[in-house]
Amino acid sequence: MYGVVQDWHEAPNLGRVTRWDLGRSYLDTERSAVFCEWDFECEYEGKTGGFTGSSLYLLRDGLIAELHEYKTEREQYRPYQLP
């Protein structure tokens, strides 16, 4: 898996990853699942962009069996904040 990620990370036609920070992560051993948050930034066609996201990894026999990734927004709308 690492080799595939490394190839994607360095592919010249896909831009250049400048930052990929991992935030909080959680492991659910009962369900063999890992959840993590991340903040991604890259340069593509001369422009810098990025976004935040989260990933859900479902494991089977110690390997990633499924990967679900979700884009999130840096600015959060929270209409029901506690005072």
Q: Model confidence at 10, in pLDDT bands (50, 70, 90)? A: low
Closest CA to 40 of 25, 50, 55, 27: 50
In whole angstroms, give the CA distance from residue 54 to residue 56: 7
Q: Which residue has the higher pLDDT, 43 or 78?
A: 43
- What 3-state DSSP class applies to 73? coil
Model confidence pTM above 0.85: no
pLDDT of the residue at 78 = 72
In this prediction, residues 43-72 reach a mean pLDDT of: 91
**Does 39 have pLDDT greater than 90?**
yes
Q: Model confidence at 4, in pLDDT bands (50, 70, 90)? A: low
In this prediction, residues 51-78 reach a mean pLDDT of: 88
| Structural domains of the chain, with CATH | 2-72 (3.10.450.50)
